[in-house]
Structure 1
Amino acid sequence: MRAQAVDHLSLLPLYAAAGTVVLVLLADLLIGRRFVAGTLALGGLATGVCAIVTGSRAGTFCAPDGTACSWVPSPLAATAAVVFAALTVGVLALSVPSLRLGTAPAGEYCFLLAASMTGGVVVGYAGDLITLIVGLETLTLPLYLLVGLRRFAPGERATTSAASASVTFFLISVVSTAIALLGAALNYAATGALHLDRLIAGAGLTAPVADVGVALLVIGLAFKVAAVPLHAWAPPTYEGSPLPIAAYLSTASKLGGVLALAAIVVRLDAAELTAVLAILTMTVGNLVALRQTRIVRLLAWSSIAQAGYILAPLALGADGLRAAAAYAVFFVVLEFIAFAVVTALRPPGADGGLLDSYRGAARRSPWLGAALVLALAGLAGLPPGLAGLFAKVTIVDALIDHGQTWLAFVVALNAVVALAYYVRVAALLYTPPTRVGIPVADPDLLDAALHPRRPVTRPVAAALIAAALVAVALGFAPQLLFDALS
């Protein structure tokens, strides 16, 4: 039987993303580092446009009979590619203050970001286990180096923290990838299937080897979303990373893990395991977040809890995919806003600092405070963060409609627990700040007292405004996202 021709139009998002990697490298080598950021920004925009233009074309790299394709365009894949491209451009904008200082390696930084974006695009369109895992590793591998790029931050402690975070992230990620590969190998040995479309038929064999393979796949991929008990790497890694990279880890990297995990659990029987992971993840994340005193660690534990909310509808299999995907998009937009505000309030190259250093921040910078309140309210599922409210309602509604009322109750209970730390941070923003005349021992508090209002660079402001507008638009018209995913 004759092999089918490759549909190059379906591959346009991949061509745009991979071409961006090459162009960034060439711009750094031949033109100069002043142009690499612009090249990456244009490449990210081109990737998003190509994903929108191609839409839901037929798959390519298919079997001779036209089934079981390795590259499968879909509304979810196109939406994911647009989100990955937008997050890459947004993180680049947050990184501009550090890149302008000349202490950040602009060429390497932009090259690694572009490579990670390419991996994210591949994950969204992957139609078989090999493409899925390769795409996920392409998304993750550059982040090992980007996490360690905080060597240019002031102070020896920052350098040590960055190196430790990078090594921790690398070692745990390697172990999780090995577990996922072992699961894929066992599943193939039992079913003879690698393509995701054929995993449905293969799952019916229910051989013990296949069951073990499915469990290992889910456990290995759960690392990417920082699901409990594979969550311990996230808080120290976020804390040790440059703030823009912490934002990328918490949004794009987590979105890639969600897409990979969803590709497995909607086709194979892993409902019980996914439900257990969801309950543990949201509960542990919220309880530990209550005790945090540093803003990045609080956002890290919060993102772990949010991953639990995303996993909950995935326990329904294919019936919960749309709700989980919608919640993931709502989450990454709100999480990006939170990290963008933290980046705007901190000096270039610094970490997130203590929560107390944000005391009175909304009084000094009202619009930044309003943006952070919008993000925190959305993550908590409260007005004015209507996007987050609709996301939580979507998940609870999907669980109740499919008879999982007990799991919907656990989600609602955890949402109530999370209110405690979200409201605490929001209230702190409007608390009277520490006065300069009062002795302050902690350097974070001293810096906040001496520099009550920092100028916000135009790229950071533009990224923050764009993300806030998207959050507001999705809050008032969430159907736009649901239509894009349909």
Structure 2
Amino acid sequence: MTQTIDYFAIAPPVVLALVAGLVLLLDVFLPRSASVRTALGLVSLAGLAVAFGFVVAQAVAGRTMRTFCVPADLAGQGPPLCSFVVDRFTLVLAGLAILAGAVVVLLSMTELAGGGIPVGEWHFLLLCTLVGATTLPASRDLIMLVVALELVSLPVFALTALKRYDGRASEAAVKLFLVSVVSTAIMLFGVSLLYGMSGTVYLSRLGEALGGSATVGGASRLGEALGGSAAVSGQGPVADAYTSVLPVATDLPMVVTVGVVLVVAGFAFKIAAVPFHSWAGDVYQGAPIPVAALLSVVSKAAGFAGLILVLLSALPAQAQTWAPIIAIVSALTMTVGNLLAMRQRSAVRLLAWSSVAQSGYILAPLAVFTEAGQRGQAAGASVAYLVFYAAMNLGAFAVVMLVSRTSRGNELDDYRGMVFRRPVAALALAFSLICLAGLPPGLAGLFAKVVVFREIVNGGLGWLAVVMAINTVIGLYYYVVWTSRLFAPTPDQAAPAPGLAEHPAPALGPTSAEPAGAAPAAPERAGATPASASAPVEWAGPAPGHVSPERAGAVPGSVPAAERAGAVPDSAERAGAATGAIAVSAERAGHAVGPASGEPVGAAGAVPGSVERARTIVTSAGGADAHQPGGGRWTAVWVAIGVTFAVALVFSVAPQLVFAIAAL
């Protein structure tokens, strides 16, 4: 009656758990500095690399591994009862979670470089989420399934709220917490009903108990409820307790149907399926961008993994109950998600509602409820589309992360003409969006949708295929609109006014309607006159011998640096993107020069040493490149963009990989 543990089978989550503890300890004992923040990120990446190495080794081994099994003398007849099983389904989703986690860590290294978020706690919570994401696909009993799903969800609340003194982040964390608590309560209620009617927590035995003759412990309770009979077989009291043969009636009591519906509803919350989707937009926008990427890929993958396991392993005999529900929810999810995405002007919110629509596409094959083989192929189509979606969505979030530091609002208009400023990032984003839309040359998206269409049509759900086709056309609108803005020239580039400088500055001096020493309004910081925020004024230079009021004794910073320096490239974005007192100080005193000479403003009436002090403040907040996308702290983001772009190219050059993943 001894239980053996296969440590090779559980190696990936164990490695991630050990590295999570190591990162937390290192953060306690090492000094707080920029180099330590980078080192902790590299330690997390190293742990993910080791865990992924174990996943590859398990795949090379080519065998199904089981551990945490009930001893044979207690399990009775039938296949072994194990809580942790490593098969091809587990390997694909665990590998996806680890690779997606590596990209999120790269994005996090940039997010944490400013020093405003505790680094050790961040990486600890992120790795704990990945522990749950790698454990959940291998879970084969209800208890481990629920625990792993909560291990994915709970750390995300804290990650969302770790951005302290940010009202949006706090609001997003509270909303996510409330939604997750409600979804967990609903799912647990359904799980308890299923357990109460079957007497087992193992998915395989649960499927047998609810679908036909089963050898399960406690099955006599279900037999009595159904009016059936239970014949006890076996040897000895222990064997008798675990081996009761149950003939199950085909008309199950209503309580089983209620349990099935509650379980499906609980998972629908996790994957943001309609009508449980309303939290997605606000949470994605309020959370730090790495956390939004984590929610859109890792949490969604974990939710789908749990849903697939429950539906196909535990409830296949109840397909006539849950398959119509899945079909209707899928159609509503893709339709509502696309319609909401069309209305968005924020890049993050557009990706949030786009991910809701993509959840509908992933759900669609699961609605097929014909023979068991067809259901397995449908699950493969869902997993293949999930892998493709994860790669493309992470690439889009990486570029959004890059733009977020030069544009506070991160609106779609901020991406206009991006190909002229950052061509590599613009091309990577355009390719990701085209793949998500399913247009050439993004063949990966096209073939992923073909795989889903094929399974839906083969399953006899023609109406759902029509709905998906219509929604694919709707999705083209906002993906193409966003992509076109990347290549559209800005108004300055399209029609430069004759005689204007390349980056005109507003007029200063006696002609300005602004009183001396007063701070201009926000629109004027981007280069507008006091009378109009949209019409730039030609700069003709100061009058001979004239000294502007600001240089004659105004408080340093009365005229923003973007104006006094002559509006360096992207000044309109940087002036509007300054956040917090440090960023404002850097704008007002960091590199301010007068319009007539290259001397600092402080030379003619500023507080002595203000420029030096502002530079010191900026350096202490994460380096002089704190808001410059080309600085050293942005290296990790560029690596993430390069990795996701390479994966997108591989999928598009060899789209048969999508079919190969579906065949697994």
Partner residue of 1:208 out of 232, 244, 254: 254
- In the other structure, the counterpart of 1:99 is 112
- The answer (yes or no) to whether the contact 2:431–2:442 under 8 Å persists in 1 is yes
* Letter in structure 1 aligned against 2:417: G
Residue 427 of structure 2 aligns to a residue whose secondary structure is helix
Indicate whether 1:386 and 2:385 are aligned.
Answer: no
Q: 1:32 to 1:393 in 2, by over 3 A?
A: farther
Indicate whether 1:354 and 2:358 are aligned.
Answer: no
Larger CA deviation: 131-140 vs 453-462? 453-462
> How far has the Cα of 1:483 moved from its partner?
3.9
Partner residue of 1:455 out of 630, 636, 645: 630
- The answer (yes or no) to whether the contact 2:384–2:661 under 8 Å persists in 1 is no
Q: 1:478 to 1:352 in 2, by over 3 A?
A: farther
> How far has the Cα of 1:144 moved from its partner?
0.4
TM-score (norm 2): 0.69
Residue 71 of structure 1 aligns to a residue whose secondary structure is strand
- In the other structure, the counterpart of 1:155 is none
Larger CA deviation: 303-312 vs 378-387? 378-387
Q: Mapping of 1:71-470 within 5 angstroms?
A: 71-151=84-164, 159-204=166-211, 205=248, 206-267=252-313, 268=315, 269=319, 270-316=322-368, 317-347=375-405, 353-435=410-492, 439=528, 446-447=572-573, 454-455=629-630, 457-470=634-647
The CA distance in 2 between the partners of 1:52 and 1:482, in whole Å, is 20
* Letter in structure 2 aligned against 1:186: L
The CA distance in 2 between the partners of 1:289 and 1:352, in whole Å, is 17
> How far has the Cα of 1:364 moved from its partner?
1.3
Q: 1:416 to 1:39 in 2, by over 3 A?
A: same
Indicate whether 1:36 and 2:6 are aligned.
Answer: no
> How far has the Cα of 1:151 moved from its partner?
2.6
The CA distance in 2 between the partners of 1:100 and 1:296, in whole Å, is 21
The CA distance in 2 between the partners of 1:98 and 1:130, in whole Å, is 35
Question: Which string of whole-angstrom CA distances, capped at 9 and with x for unpartnered residues, describes residues 71-122 of structure 1?
Answer: 0101121121122111222111112223222222111111111111101011
TM-score (norm 1): 0.93
- The answer (yes or no) to whether the contact 1:359–1:434 under 8 Å persists in 2 is no
Aligned residues with identical type, % of pairs: 39
* Letter in structure 1 aligned against 2:364: A
| Unaligned segments of structure 1, at least 5 residues | 153-158
Question: Which string of whole-angstrom CA distances, capped at 9 and with x for unpartnered residues, describes residues 362-416 of structure 1?
Answer: 2211111111111111111111222111110110011112222221111111101
Q: 1:139 to 1:285 in 2, by over 3 A?
A: same
Higher helix share: 1
- The answer (yes or no) to whether the contact 1:94–1:459 under 8 Å persists in 2 is yes
> How far has the Cα of 1:467 moved from its partner?
1.1
The CA distance in 1 between the partners of 2:258 and 2:281, in whole Å, is 30
Q: CA RMSD in A?
A: 2.3
Partner residue of 1:50 out of 40, 48, 54: 54
> How far has the Cα of 1:479 moved from its partner?
3.7
The CA distance in 2 between the partners of 1:121 and 1:3, in whole Å, is 26
The CA distance in 1 between the partners of 2:487 and 2:58, in whole Å, is 46
Residue 303 of structure 1 aligns to a residue whose secondary structure is helix
Indicate whether 1:64 and 2:71 are aligned.
Answer: yes
The CA distance in 1 between the partners of 2:438 and 2:464, in whole Å, is 17
The CA distance in 2 between the partners of 1:93 and 1:386, in whole Å, is 27
> How far has the Cα of 1:3 moved from its partner?
4.3
The CA distance in 2 between the partners of 1:185 and 1:251, in whole Å, is 29
- The answer (yes or no) to whether the contact 2:116–2:163 under 8 Å persists in 1 is no
- In the other structure, the counterpart of 1:156 is none
* Letter in structure 2 aligned against 1:407: L
* Letter in structure 2 aligned against 1:297: R
Give the aligned length: 477
> How far has the Cα of 1:4 moved from its partner?
4.3
Residue 150 of structure 1 aligns to a residue whose secondary structure is coil
The CA distance in 1 between the partners of 2:628 and 2:444, in whole Å, is 29
> How far has the Cα of 1:150 moved from its partner?
2.7
The CA distance in 1 between the partners of 2:339 and 2:354, in whole Å, is 10
- The answer (yes or no) to whether the contact 1:27–1:39 under 8 Å persists in 2 is no
* Letter in structure 2 aligned against 1:405: G
> How far has the Cα of 1:20 moved from its partner?
1.6
Q: 1:453 to 1:21 in 2, by over 3 A?
A: closer
